[in-house]
Amino acid sequence: MNVGKNEPRRDGPAKLTGRALYLDDLDIPGCWHGATVRSSVPHGKIKSITYDPAFAWDECIVVTAKDIPGKNVVALIEPDQPLLADAIVRHREEAIVLIAHADRALAYEAAKRVKIEYEPLPPVFDMEQSDKTFKSYLISCGDLEAGFAAADVIVSGEYRTPSQEHAYIENNAVAAYEEDGVLTVTGSLQCPYYVLKAMTQIFNRDENAIRVIQTVTGGGFGGKEEYPSMLAGHAALLALKAGRPVKIVYDRHEDMAVTTKRHPAIIRHRTGLTKDGKLLAQDIEVIMDGGAYATLSGVVLSRGTLHATGVYECPNVRVRSKVVMTHTPPNGAFRGFGAPQTLFAVELHWERISDALRIDSLTLRRRNILKLGSTTATGQHLLQSVGAKECLQKAVKNSQYVSKRKAYDRWNKNLKNPTWKGIGLSVCHHGAGFTGSGEAYLASRAGIALTKAGELVILAASTEIGQGTNTMFAQVASDALGVPASWFHIETPDTHKVPDSGPTVASRTCMIVGGLVSRATHELKRAFENEYGRVPKTPADLKKAAAALCAGAPARRFEAQYENPPDVTWDDATYRGDAYGVYSYAAIVVDLEIDKLTCAVRVNKVTTAQDIGKAINPLLAEGQIIGGSTQGLGWALLEEPIFKDGVMINSQLTNYVIPTSLDAPPFEVILVEKPYSRGPFGAKGLGELPMDIPGPAVAAAVKHATGRLIATLPQTPERINSSLK
Ligand code: MOS
């Protein structure tokens, strides 16, 4: 068995030694450099575009919306976002003019020599003042009024979460060129087939005349889910007009100022409970700030809405949610995809309820937590793989949560101590894969090829973005066929070579696409058994078997396509049914200390237990959990995007502070494995789960330490200090 072993990461050595070639490392002969002229107002009419006559414009290529051969749109869900603004701008930094020059510095210089005049229009920056709703949802079950009428207490609270920058190590970067009539884009991206779809509309070409190839990608976290479609369109427009390759590589400032971020959110809870803490009614309102265009906001809101009740059973529920337009760059996918926002609210709300009922929040959670046989607010019956209680139990026990809570209460009573100490916990679920009928609609395909030379090549559009996709695929295929993992190559995600296995998002790559790879490999196994008499045992045997199976053809290809299990049903119109095939679960305990003088927070220990079904590669799983939790701690304690006039003004890593390895506290990670019958070897989703709950656990620990509930993030020293006044 290879699954369950710590197979070394396939992409590790090249990245560690610097041999990995990222987009900007590629030497593309004759390649020019692209630069972008952007809107300097958040909302306005474009009155004129003029070009400084002192600049040598004949040395460069200039592109505006008029050069777009097809539709001026970045196709995703709603066709509302233009590739280049034409007539109207709806956010600061919106792209208007593109320039390509042989010299990168001169491309940027040219961009400065373009003058755009605007007739300003009034902008809206406050999501509560917006009059345009992109999408809204309603989840309703039971009888809300009866629930509140029967309640002994009703507790209300409002919670706010900020934006967040992905801060992947590699900025957005794409190159484009035309080769034999095929418009090719290559770059740092999560979803090759999303880019392909967008390109067909911009260039009015069919899919065969466009090719999208992923290069080694330095992180994504959702930030390369949608934006690369925009960048690919820009680079390709320039390349076609220039008649030569063009690359666009953002620097950090541009990347942070113009690309998508996490949706800021406001969440309001009104909760009815019995006096011993049983949930009777949850009335929840969610508002998210979508920015200027719809992009993925509707689906981010959907996931946020579906996770808003938390990991609890409640008979009477109403969740009303909306995502609205404001005049800032569009917000988009970010690890957790709306769930960290709503989970922050529901989890921290337990601390308010705890104060109201004088029952500790751990007991309250235990009393209401989802278990095998529970029904969710959408009417989903949880019939297998429910590890919520076990995660909570293990995180509480290993962190010594209960005894430390008492010990810290005593410590905090002693006024002479230089610090306050606090310990807080949080627990959650995270739906794996696309929401509702999403996976059925995607109908993803993945495969394996056996070449006549005896190579085994895994075929999927799922991208390695640092999370371990390629290693995981090889391990799954290895056990499906019963040969060493080292026998498998992973094909580069290239739309001319691999089937559409869907986007690399939504914690779906292992559970959904890993399952397809496993099924396709079983097809190959059957072919070996039927046509060769056995699965080959040695590399030499594999060569012989390949010659027999391929029978002169260059390769044999085996594919599997996603099939929706008949008992998983979902109704988009009523938001009733199985919102996800299965959920992963996690609990976290954050143990911290606050300096009384400076209010600086030091996290002393994080203990987290996560039910991911099956760890295909435990070390990689642990890495995902520590990385995701640290990203969550950054959101909770350090990261504060500051917007002024609709643009992020601290768009640099010098003043937008993210945690480094030096800020990472000691972690204890406990893997809980409640197998899911439909995941490969029992595996469920893992990528986003660890990002979901550090926020509320930090806020609960700060409250334990200081006695103040701060219902917003980040909990910076400044914010903690002002809460004490
Ligand atoms: Mo994601 S945040 O589903 O790339």
- Cα-Cα-Cα-Cα torsion 526, 529, 531, 534, nearest 10 degrees, comes to 150
| Cα–ligand 1 centroid distance for 507 (angstroms) | 7
Burial environment of residue 623 by CB neighbours within 10 A (0 to 12, 13 to 18, 19 or more): middle
The whole-number pLDDT of residue 1 equals 87
- For residue 549, the CA-to-ligand 1 centroid distance in Å is 39
Given a cut of 90, is residue 389 above it in pLDDT? yes
CA 466 to ligand 1 center in whole angstroms: 14
- For residues 340, 346, 351, 356, the Cα torsion angle rounded to the nearest 10 degrees is 170
Residue 260 CB coordination number (10 Å)? 26
Residue to substitute in 195, 688, 689 for testing ligand 1 pocket (most ligand atoms within 8 angstroms of CB): 688
Tell which residue, 343, 328, 337, has the closest CA to residue 262: 337
What secondary structure letter does DSSP report for 494? B
Report CA Rg, the chain. Answer: 26
Provide the percentage of residues in the chain whose pLDDT is more than 70: 100
In the predicted model, is pLDDT for residue 197 greater than 90?
Answer: yes
Average pLDDT, the chain: 98
Atom of ligand 1 nearest to the CA of 337: 2
Q: Are the C-beta atoms of 301 and 288 separated by less than 8 Å? A: yes
Q: Which atom of ligand 1 is nearest to the CA of 506?
A: 3
Q: Which residues of 17-33 are buried (b: 16+ CB within 10 A; e: fewer)?
A: eeebebbeebeeeebbb
Please say if the pLDDT value at position 181 is more than 90.
yes
What are the tens digits of pLDDT across the range 516-565?
999 999 999 999 999 999 999 999 999 999 999 999 999 999 999 999 99
3-state secondary structure 689-708: HHHCCHHHHHHHHHHHHHCC
**Distance from the CA of 193 to the center of ligand 1, in angstroms?**
15
Single out the residue of 473, 481, 523, 525 nearest to residue 501, CA to CA: 473
From ligand 1's centre to the CA of 261, what distance in Å? 11
Q: How many angstroms is it from 220 CA to the middle of ligand 1?
A: 8
Whether the per-residue pLDDT at 133 is higher than 90: the answer is yes
In one-letter notation, the amino acid at residue 501 is S
Q: Which atom of ligand 1 is nearest to the CA of 222?
A: 4
Q: Which residues sit with their C-beta closer than 6 Å to ligand 1?
A: 190, 222, 225, 333-335, 337, 505-506
Distance 331 CA to ligand 1 centre (A): 12
Mean pLDDT of 428-435: 96
**Which atom of ligand 1 approaches the CA of 333 most closely?**
2
For the segment 83-111, the average pLDDT, to the nearest whole number, is 98
For residue 487, what pLDDT band results from cuts at 50, 70 and 90?
very high
Which residue has the CA at smallest separation from atom 4 of ligand 1? 222
Letter string b/e over residues 105-138, b meaning 16 or more CB atoms within 10 A of that residue's CB: ebbbbbbebbebebeeeebbbebeebeeebbebe
Whether the upstream peptide bond of residue 69 has omega within 30° of 0, thus cis, is no
**Is residue 431's pLDDT more than 90?**
yes
Six token digits for residue 162? 């900020």
Which of 225, 227, 469 for mutating ligand 1's site (highest number of atoms within 8 Å of CB)?
225
- Rounded average pLDDT over 311-318: 98
Nearest to 59, CA basis, from 106, 129, 2: 106
CA of 421 to the centre of ligand 1 (A): 35
Work out the average pLDDT over 594-610. 98
Ligand 1 center to 289 CA (angstroms): 17
DSSP state of 286: E
Q: How far apart are CA 650 and CA 641, in angstroms?
A: 6
Q: Quick check: 612 pLDDT over 90?
A: yes
pLDDT at residue 8, rounded to an integer: 97
* Mean local confidence (pLDDT), 173-191: 98
**What's the CA-to-centroid distance between 468 and ligand 1, angstroms?**
15
What distance in angstroms lies between residue 60's CA and the mean position of ligand 1's atoms?
37
Pocket test for ligand 1, best of 335, 434, 464, 508 (most atoms within 8 A of CB): 335
Atom of ligand 1 nearest to the CA of 688: 2
Q: Is the pLDDT of residue 419 over 90?
A: yes
According to DSSP, the β-strands at 488-490 and 456-459 are parallel
Question: Residues 473, 478, 483, CA angle at the centre, nearest 5°?
Answer: 155
CA–centroid distance, 92 to ligand 1, in Å, is: 24
User: What is the per-residue pLDDT for 112?
Assistant: 98
pLDDT digits (tens, 9 = 90+) for 569-579: 999 999 999 99
**How far does residue 338's CA lie from ligand 1's centre (Å)?**
10
514-532 and 539-550 helices, crossing angle to 10°: 80
Rounded average pLDDT over 10-38? 97
Distance between Cα 90 and ligand 1 center (Å) = 25
Atom nearest to 223 CA in ligand 1:
4
pLDDT digits (tens, 9 = 90+) for 145-172: 999 999 999 999 999 999 999 999 999 9
pLDDT at 343 (0 to 100): 99
Dist. CA 377 → ligand 1 center (Å)? 24
